Structure 1
Amino acid sequence: MKPIIAVPATLLLCYRAYSRNSLTPTGIFAAALTAVAHAVHPWNLPFALLVVFFLAATRATHVKENVKATLTLHSKGSSGGEGPRTHVQVLANSLTASVLSLLHAYQMHARQRELLASPLGSNPASSSLCFSWGGDLLVVGIIANYAAVAADTFSSELGILSKDQPRLITSPTLRKVPRGTNGGVTLFGLGAGLLGSIIIVTAAAVMLPFCNGQTAGKLGGGLPWSNDERRTLILGLTAWGFMGSVLDSILGGLLQATVKDVRTGKVVEGEGGTRVLVAARSKPHSAEHFSTRADVKAALLHGEGHDAVEKLDSAVDEGEGVDKYDARNKNRRSSFGDEKPSRVVENGRDLLDNNQVNFLMAFTMSIGAMAVGSWYWGVPLSSVLPAGIAS
């Protein structure tokens, strides 16, 4: 992309993120680096998709944000809603696309050097400078990444406004769950996800430098696309992006813990997509519980006196060998007066946080799209690597 366009556009995006509090300072820095990684590509496509995704995602985030703030709770106790996104959230959505864009930029520059050194009129299939039919799997991966993360963002930010209560996609009975639950889906949310994918793929269809009849046979040209082939690519990537939002829901429902506030029944959201901690409470009749009591009793017999009694009382109530009232205890529990926890895990397992789930989904959908393209076109998947590594 030409620097005369990329530099002002990047500065404007950073200023917009700062003025509207869309990104944290570190988030703005990560976004600027991401923009550079996309702008070094000879085509306008990667940078354009990044811009479209950023503008569309921030717009979706601000839709009825005052209403969304009342539907969930913040982990710090305030109202919910999406705050400014951090550098981790930026990278979770765009890191895969950044790597693929840099790889394809390297390939494009290598092709340009090859064409300059080749006799006039030669047109090797691997040296196409336009988007040729039957190749450039990296381009498919870049588009798939942004179609998937846009679908996921739209599904999350707009789906929570659905009048219908979400149903857990990983539940055999599709049981109803609170709004904001990881893995919870509604028809409205799925439709919003499809809209996000359509926006990205439409932008890609406009910006892609398709090889056509005019470029065929020319230096740097490639196999042209028919209208049916273009339609197949557009519909396929749109459906693939929509499936990304579904995959994110499945991964979230299985690998991410959803924490619910007992008093309000609302989902508690972690700051910047991080985990919401819930203190574990040992079972009264578990081996861990009796082991803790035995340790405290042994301390009592060895002369610790009153301190050991307090620890024993704490162990009985909390299942731990520490004083629950000690200010040095970083694991003090947030609970009601009856010692019942105020936060409980609604569903899922605490294996990944929201950012890790988003990255896993984006990576999977990008690699998966390239694998499908490799099978459909009969192009080896190794073609995405630089020539020296692939050989």
Structure 2
Amino acid sequence: MKAIYAVPATLLLIYRAHSRNSLTPAGIFAAALTAVAHAIHPWNLPFVLLVVFFLAGTRVTHVKEKVKSSLTVHSKGTSGGEGPRTHIQVLANSLTASILCLLHAYQLHLRQQALTAVTVASSRSSPTGSAELGTVCFSWGGDLLVIGIIANYACVAADTFSSELGILSKGEPRLITSPTLRKVPRGTNGGVSLLGLGAGLLGSVIIVTTAVLFLPFCNESTAGRLGGGDVWTTEQRRTLILFLTVWGFLGSVLDSFLGGMFQRSVKDIRTGKIVEGEGGVRVLVSAGPNPNSVEHFTSKNAHVKAALLSGEGSDSDAVEHADATVAVDGETETRTNKYDPRDKHRRSSFGDERPSRVVESGWDLLDNNDVNFLMAFIMSSGAMAVAAWYWGVPFGSAFATS
């Protein structure tokens, strides 16, 4: 992409992210690097896809923002909702596409060099009949990396739209990993609704439509030039549009499945709402020692006795914080003051010792950023594999540099 367009556009995106608090400072830096990786590509397509995804994603994030913030709770105890995105979140959505952009830009650079060499040699041998040098275009059965780039943004856009708009569904979502599709609180990882699925399809349509408008398809005007390839027919374009649109939609479904299976959802008992981790990180569930255990009382008594013998604290402190010995069924039982702020083993719980947070679903193997990156990588690679099979070209040709 020409620098005269890329530089101002990147600066405007940075200003917008900063003024609207869409990204953290580290997130802005990561986004700037991502923009540079996309702008290096000679086609406008990658940079435009990045811009459209960023603008559309931030737009749906702010749709009924106050309503969405009341549907979940923050891990720090405040209301939920999406805060500024971190550098990890930026990279989770765009790292795969950035790598593919850089690799494809390098491939196009090598091809352009080869075309230039052929043109020079042709002009020397036949000055009056030299071949006309054209831009390397996207031919039917062409570059697999281009399919991977578009698939990446179609999938992450579908996932963003599904998450941000699906939570506004009137009914409770259903857990996609549950055999019975049981209802779960809004914001549960793996929870799906008709509104969320429809929103995901809309996000995919937006990206694929943009891609088709900016893809330099090989056509009749480039067919006779060096760098020109097989011309796309109308039916072939429709096939590409349908495939990428459906593939992006399936990406949001896969993200829901991975999240429901491998990402733990934590529910706040007091409100019945899902607890959201800041920046997509894991939400901790308190799992301290059992305050009724013998080990806990023994260590607690030792702490209080040591404090009294050393002269620290007062008798009133000992009365307030020391363990009490009571008779239960003829046997003595030692109890502690569970509200003692000096007790490092206190659990976050109600007065009846029940935990304030419980696991709603999922294994604690991945956080939200891990799930997003894994989904984007799988779907990008899968789209290239399907295109390679359909076009009858080796999958390894996507990464060839010679």
Under TM normalisation by the shorter chain, which class is it?
A: 0.7 to 0.9
Distance 1:53 1:304 in 2: 57
Shift of 1:254: 0.3
Alignment of 1:11-90 (within 5 A): 11-90=11-90
1:383 lines up with 2:400 in the alignment: no
Shift of 1:340: 1.2
1:224 lines up with 2:210 in the alignment: no
Shift of 1:325: 4.6
Shift of 1:358: 0.4
Shift of 1:324: 8.6
Shift of 1:338: 1.7
Q: Deviations over 1:109-164 (max 9, x none)?
A: 0000010111447799xx97100110200000000000000000000000000111
Shift of 1:379: 1.3
Shift of 1:33: 0.3
Structure 1 letter corresponding to 2:89: Q
- In structure 1, the residue matched to 2:378 is 364
CA contact (8 A) 2:290 2:296 kept: no
CA contact (8 A) 1:293 1:312 kept: no
How many pairs does the alignment contain?
A: 367
Distance 2:63 2:18 in 1: 18
1:197 lines up with 2:204 in the alignment: yes
- In structure 2, the residue matched to 1:3 is 3
- In structure 1, the residue matched to 2:244 is 237
Shift of 1:280: 2.1
Structure 2 letter corresponding to 1:385: F
Distance 1:222 1:39 in 2: 24
| Secondary structure, counterpart of 1:247 in structure 2 | helix
Give the aligned CA root-mean-square deviation in angstroms. 2.7
TM-score of the pair, normalised by structure 2: 0.85
TM-score of the pair, normalised by structure 1: 0.88
CA contact (8 A) 2:166 2:193 kept: yes
Out of 173, 183, 188, the residue aligned to residue 176 of structure 1 is 183
CA contact (8 A) 2:288 2:347 kept: no
Q: Deviations over 1:159-207 (max 9, x none)?
A: 0001111000000000000000000000010000000000000000000
CA contact (8 A) 2:304 2:322 kept: no
Structure 1 residues 354 and 123 mapped into 2: Cα distance closer, same or farther (>3 Å)?
Answer: farther
Distance 1:10 1:365 in 2: 27
Structure 2 letter corresponding to 1:72: T
- In structure 1, the residue matched to 2:350 is 336
Distance 2:109 2:154 in 1: 26
Structure 2 letter corresponding to 1:364: I
Distance 1:99 1:23 in 2: 22
CA contact (8 A) 1:244 1:362 kept: yes
Structure 1 residues 203 and 312 mapped into 2: Cα distance closer, same or farther (>3 Å)?
Answer: farther
Long gaps (5+) in structure 2: 123-129, 308-320, 325-337
- In structure 2, the residue matched to 1:349 is 363
Shift of 1:386: 4.0
CA contact (8 A) 2:223 2:229 kept: yes
Percent of paired sites with the same residue? 70
CA contact (8 A) 1:22 1:58 kept: yes
| Secondary structure, counterpart of 2:254 in structure 1 | helix
1:142 lines up with 2:156 in the alignment: no
Distance 2:90 2:385 in 1: 25
Structure 1 residues 61 and 311 mapped into 2: Cα distance closer, same or farther (>3 Å)?
Answer: farther
Q: Deviations over 1:219-253 (max 9, x none)?
A: 11111100000000011000000000000000000
Structure 1 residues 311 and 31 mapped into 2: Cα distance closer, same or farther (>3 Å)?
Answer: farther
